Each structure stands twice: as structure tokens, then as C-alpha cells.
């Protein structure tokens, strides 16, 4: 072998090695496809080239990247410019192989095809090439078409180089046997890189599909949380997108990589996965007396019993009055009955109202519940007892929402369970913080959140983003069992007060308002009647 040729071969091997490294590092498939074709053109000093991928149904080839230096054509790949050519079918409508074109022949016969001069070739149909040349003034001469086979020997694509150029004169030459060997080596490397990326994408899709499966299970278990599981990650990424461009406070240093943003997305998707083990009757508790059913119906029955007791007492009084010859006493008895029935109806309506969760219940309202509950009645066992049990009184006196202290603890445990579940998984390095971020979404800057009592110095910024998304979605959600979705103005006011109370990150809230994330989200996910007029100058915790 000639020494200069040996040196050239050594240089080519070095180039192939560098190309292999570059291909293994590229994470974006359009860029990877472009890198493959660009590397092939550079390695073989070709003027142009096209890369095709085999469609999933293996019936046609799809144009992915097209390059031509002389014509300055740059389509497909990372360019974003669409290739205006339809896929090339591998078979005729009646199922016969289409072997008339070079690329289809190379794929169907699993072999590299070298053409020295397209205009002199008698084996393949180059009519399309001639039409292209006629339109552009180009002269397509030499072709090298190489199938790309994965580790299983299955063809996944093909690249075609056009017009090899002499490195010294720049004149079009033919592709040599060495060119063919180099191209096949590159095709093998490219196929491995592309297959690896496809496998990674498939695993990622499977992974996200399993997450969606968990969220679907939660959705099926409780219709009140499924939409929340879907919307919080959407809002999380909307906030992250504007936060990473902000120059405000801690956000100046928040410049996440694509991998870090994906980690945040996964944490958002999994933030409530612990709810899969939360009892349904707690998650779905829409009224204060609800357990497996709303026990206010039992209270209604007791009122009916008290009303019947009052009517019986009235009838007994009437009978006694008549027996003693005192009919004049009857009107007073009827008046007393009427008053008693009115009192019972009023008490029943009051308890029905109290049974509905609210934002606040004062002491006077709670005292009236206790007074009603202290009445006596004869229960199912024929024994006299208080009208309401201590447990019923405690539930009806819940000051905020519908959950009592024990149920609130059960709900809060979903965060600890989320963290335990996620920490049990063998996370790869790029996703190592998913459990931390997901398991901290109910923490507050003042340290009064749950379940670990993190504070401003220990609560990561990604967790703060999920915190803000979680609260905003919960306040505006129209599918919660205990409340209707709030108006935008009311929601932003509540969030602003939380900022003032040092619960929510002020810098995130600022960019959330200033960049209109709240409105973009509302237009996509809220009912039109929830989107009211908002005066930003009146939002607490925000300075326009």
C-alpha cells in the first residue's frame, strides 16, 4: 500500500472515530439525522446528499435531510425547512417491489449501489433526477447509496451521496471502492446511533406512558383529582419557561438545561402519585358529614323523628284537653307545634348549610351547631341521646373546607407516600431529583408546609414552581367535590396574600403575573365565566 494512501486511511479512520463520538453525543433526532448526512458528505467529499428513513410500516421511504452545496439547498434535519417531496413507496399498489429507483433498490436488496454516471446508467429510473437538473441547471453524475442497518440487521434508513468531488481539482469524480467501504462503515455507526436514540425515545415514551397509567388510575379512582394530575405539569412547564428568562432575584441563576426541564416535567407529572393509596372517601369528601355517603341524610331523618314527636305530643295534648273538657287549650297547643316545627326546619336548613365546606366558619356559627346537637331525641335503640354525636359536631364545625384534622393528616400523608414511592425507584442521574421536587410541592417558604417543614433556605426552586402551579390549579379547578372553580381575580388575590404571608415564592409570582402565564393557562383550561376582569394594580404581593 502506498504510504500516502496509508496516511489517508489513517486520517479517515480518525474522522470515523470523531464522527462516532459526535453521533453518540447528539440527543436531538433531527440534528442527529443532519449530522449523519453532513458527516458522510464531508468524509467522502460529496457535493450533495439525501437521507431517508424507513416509515414505521416499512412500506415507503421518508425524506429527512437534503443538502446540496452547489445549489445551497438545506432542507429537513435541524433546518426546520420542510422537504416538499412525498415519501417514496417501496411497493406498487398490487404489492410488487419498486426496484426501479436506486434508493428503493438499495433497501429492498439490502446492498450498497454505486452509479458512476446517472445519465449513462441503463438499470435505474433517473427521470426525476433529470427533471431536477433541468429545473436547477445542476448536473447529477455519480451516486453512492448505502442502506443503514441496525444491530438486528434490519434496515432503518438509507443515505445517498451525489457527485463525489476531487479534493484537489474540485471536479466531479466517481465514488471509489474505498469510498464505498468508508460509507458502509459510517452507515453502520449511524444506524447504531439512530437506533439507540429510537430505543431511548421508546423507553421514554413507555416511562411517560406508565406515569399516565398511574394518573389514569387516580383519575378512575377519583374524578376530582385526575384533571389536576394532568394540568399541574402543564402549568409547571409554562411557569418554568418564563422563569428561566427572568432576571429577578433567584431566577437570575435559573437557567435549566433541557434535561433539567424534563426532570421538572416528570416531577410535575408524579407530584400526586401518592394519592393512589389515599382512601377515596377522604379524597372525594365533598361535604363535612360525608364518609362513604353524605350523613346529612341521617340528620334529616332525625329531624323528621323530632317533628313527629312534636306532632304526637301535640295530639296527646289535644286529647287530654278534650277529655278534661277544655277545648280552649287546643289553639295554644297548635301554635306551640307550629313554632316547634318552624324551629326544627330552621335548624335542619342551618346544618345543611354548615355541611357545605367554606373558607371560614366563625365561633358563633360553631356554637349554634353545638346547641342544635345538644338537643335530645330517642334513637333507634329506644334510648334517649344527644341529637348529634361528638364526631358529627366536630365535622360540622370544620372551619375551612370539609376535612377534619384526622382526614387532613391522611391527605397530607400522600406527599410523604409520593416521596417514599419515588425514592424507591432506581432513577438515572438526569432524573435524580424527581422525588425531591415532587415530594416538596406542599412546602412553604415560611416552613409551615408539609410534610418535612422545609423553608426558604431549603426549598428548591423547581419545587417552588410546582407549589405555585399546584395551588393555582387547585383554586381554579371546577371539578373539586367541595367547591366550584374560583374566578381569576379571586384566585390571584388569594395567591398574592400567600406571597405576602411568605408561603409562595415572590419572584415566581411576579413573573407568573407579569408574563401573563395566568391568563394563557386560563384561556386554555378555565370556563369562560371564570375569566373575569383583573386589575393587576390591586393584586396583593405584586407591583406592576
What pairing do the DSSP bridges indicate for beta strands 172-173 and 88-89? unpaired
Quick one: cell of 466? 410546582
All structural domains of the chain with their residue ranges: 3-200, 222-280+408-538, 296-402
> Can you tell me the distance from the alpha carbon of 326 to that of 523, in angstroms, rounded to the nearest whole number?
73
- What is the per-residue pLDDT for 3? 38
- Taking 50 as the pLDDT cut, the residues of the chain under it are 1-7
- Of 438, 410, 466, the closest CA to residue 277 belongs to 410
> Can you tell me the distance from the alpha carbon of 396 to that of 346, in angstroms, rounded to the nearest whole number?
16
Contact between residue 222 and residue 283 where contact means Cβ atoms under 8 Å apart = yes
Quick one: cell of 301? 331523618
Q: At 398, is the secondary structure helix, strand, or coil?
A: coil
Residue 53's beta-bridge partner residues? 62, 157
- What is the per-residue pLDDT for 20? 66
Q: Is the dihedral of CA 134, 136, 138, 143 positive or negative?
A: negative
> Can you tell me the distance from the alpha carbon of 394 to that of 416, in angstroms, rounded to the nearest whole number?
26
- What is the per-residue pLDDT for 117? 95
- What is the per-residue pLDDT for 491? 95
Contact between residue 41 and residue 164 where contact means Cβ atoms under 8 Å apart = no
CATH for 222-280+408-538 (3.40.50.720, 3.90.550.10, 1.10.3210.10, 3.90.226.10): 1.10.3210.10
> Can you tell me the distance from the alpha carbon of 49 to that of 65, in angstroms, rounded to the nearest whole number?
8
- What is the per-residue pLDDT for 7? 36
Name every residue whose Cβ is closer than 8 Å to that of residue 128 and which is 6 or more positions away in sequence.
101
Neighbours of 283 (CB within 10 A): 19
> Can you tell me the distance from the alpha carbon of 220 to that of 199, in angstroms, rounded to the nearest whole number?
31
- Of 372, 226, 225, 231, the closest CA to residue 286 belongs to 225
In angstroms, the Cα distances linking 3 to 9, 169, 250, 342, 484 are: 10, 22, 61, 113, 82
Strands (E), 330-421: 376-378, 384-386
- What is the per-residue pLDDT for 407? 78
Q: Is the dihedral of CA 462, 466, 471, 473 positive or negative?
A: positive
- What is the per-residue pLDDT for 152? 81
> Can you tell me the distance from the alpha carbon of 237 to that of 260, in angstroms, rounded to the nearest whole number?
11
> Each residue of 204-220: pLDDT tens digit?
899 999 988 888 877 67
Architecture of the domain delimited by 3-200:
2-Layer Sandwich (3.30)
- What is the per-residue pLDDT for 35? 82
- What is the per-residue pLDDT for 411? 74
* DSSP output for 300-352: HHHHHHHHHHHHHHHHHHHHHHHHTT-GGGHHHHHHHHHHHHHHHHHHHHHHH
- What is the per-residue pLDDT for 278? 76
- What is the per-residue pLDDT for 23? 64
| 191 CB-contact burial (10 Å; exposed 0-12 / middle 13-18 / buried 19+) | buried
Name every residue whose Cβ is closer than 8 Å to that of residue 251 and which is 6 or more positions away in sequence.
243, 244, 461, 507, 508, 511
Amino acid at each position: 500500500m502506498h504510504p500516502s494512501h496509508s496516511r489517508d486511511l489513517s486520517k479517515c479512520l480518525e474522522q470515523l472515530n470523531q464522527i462516532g463520538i459526535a453521533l453518540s453525543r447528539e440527543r436531538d433526532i433531527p440534528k442527529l439525522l443532519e449530522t449523519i448526512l453532513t458527516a458522510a458528505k464531508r468524509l467522502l467529499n460529496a457535493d450533495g446528499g439525501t437521507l431517508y428513513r424507513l416509515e414505521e410500516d416499512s412500506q415507503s421511504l421518508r425524506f429527512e435531510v437534503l443538502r446540496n452545496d452547489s445549489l445551497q439547498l438545506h432542507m429537513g434535519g435541524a433546518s426546520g425547512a420542510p422537504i416538499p417531496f412525498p415519501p417514496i413507496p417501496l411497493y406498487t399498489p398490487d404489492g410488487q417491489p419498486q426496484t426501479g429507483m436506486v434508493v428503493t433498490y438499495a433497501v429492498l436488496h439490502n446492498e450498497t449501489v454505486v452509479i458512476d454516471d446517472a445519465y449513462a446508467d441503463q438499470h435505474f429510473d433517473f427521470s426525476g433526477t433529470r427533471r431536477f437538473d433541468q429545473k436547477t441547471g445542476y448536473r447529477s453524475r455519480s451516486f453512492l447509496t448505502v442502506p443503514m442497518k441496525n444491530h438486528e440487521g434490519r434496515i432503518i434508513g438509507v443515505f445517498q451521496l451525489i457527485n463525489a468531488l476531487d479534493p484537489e481539482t474540485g471536479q466531479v469524480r466517481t465514488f471509489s471502492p474505498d469510498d464505498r467501504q468508508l460509507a458502509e462503515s459510517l452507515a453502520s455507526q449511524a444506524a447504531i446511533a439512530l437506533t439507540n436514540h429510537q430505543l431511548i425515545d421508546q423507553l421514554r415514551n413507555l416511562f411517560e406512558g406508565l406515569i399516565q397509567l398511574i394518573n389514569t388510575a387516580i383519575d378512575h379512582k377519583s374524578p376530582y383529582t385526575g384533571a389536576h394530575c394532568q394540568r399541574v405539569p402543564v402549568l409547571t412547564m409554562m411557569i418554568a419557561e418564563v422563569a428561566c428568562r427572568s432576571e429577578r432575584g433567584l431566577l437570575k441563576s435559573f437557567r435549566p438545561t433541557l434535561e433539567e426541564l424534563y426532570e421538572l416535567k416528570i416531577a410535575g407529572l408524579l407530584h400526586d402519585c401518592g394519592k393512589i393509596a389515599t382512601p377515596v372517601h377522604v379524597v372525594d369528601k365533598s361535604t363535612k358529614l360525608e364518609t362513604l355517603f353524605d350523613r346529612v341524610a341521617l340528620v334529616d331523618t332525625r329531624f323528621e323523628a323530632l317533628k313527629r314527636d312534636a306532632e304526637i305530643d301535640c295530639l296527646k295534648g289535644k286529647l287530654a284537653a278534650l277529655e278534661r273538657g277544655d277545648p280552649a287549650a287546643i289553639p295554644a297547643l297548635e301554635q306551640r307545634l307550629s313554632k316547634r316545627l318552624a324551629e326544627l326546619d330552621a335548624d335542619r336548613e342551618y346544618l345543611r348549610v354548615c355541611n357545605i365546606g367554606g373558607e371560614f366558619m366563625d365561633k358563633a356559627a360553631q356554637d349554634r351547631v353545638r346547641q342544635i346537637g345538644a338537643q335530645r331525641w330517642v334513637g333507634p335503640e329506644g334510648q334517649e341521646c344527644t341529637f348529634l354525636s361528638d364526631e358529627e359536631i366536630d365535622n360540622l364545625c370544620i372551619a375551612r373546607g370539609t376535612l377534619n384534622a384526622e382526614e387532613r393528616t391522611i391527605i397530607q400523608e400522600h406527599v410523604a407516600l409520593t416521596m417514599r414511592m419515588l425514592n424507591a425507584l432506581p432513577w438515572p442521574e438526569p432524573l435524580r431529583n424527581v422525588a425531591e421536587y415532587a415530594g416538596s410541592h406542599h412546602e412553604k417558604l415560611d416552613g409551615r408546609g408539609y410534610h418535612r417543614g422545609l423553608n426558604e433556605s431549603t426549598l428548591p426552586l423547581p419545587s417552588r414552581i410546582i407549589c405555585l402551579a399546584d395551588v393555582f390549579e387547585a383554586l381554579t379547578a371546577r371539578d373539586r367535590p367541595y367547591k366550584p372553580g374560583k374566578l381569576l381575580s379571586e384566585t390571584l388575590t388569594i395567591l398574592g396574600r400567600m406571597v405576602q404571608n411568605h408561603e409562595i415564592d415572590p419572584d415566581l409570582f411576579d413573573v407568573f403575573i407579569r408574563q401573563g402565564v395566568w391568563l394563557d393557562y386560563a384561556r386554555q383550561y378555565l370556563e369562560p365565566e371564570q375569566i373575569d376582569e383583573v386589575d393587576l394594580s390591586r393584586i396583593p404581593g405584586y407591583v406592576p
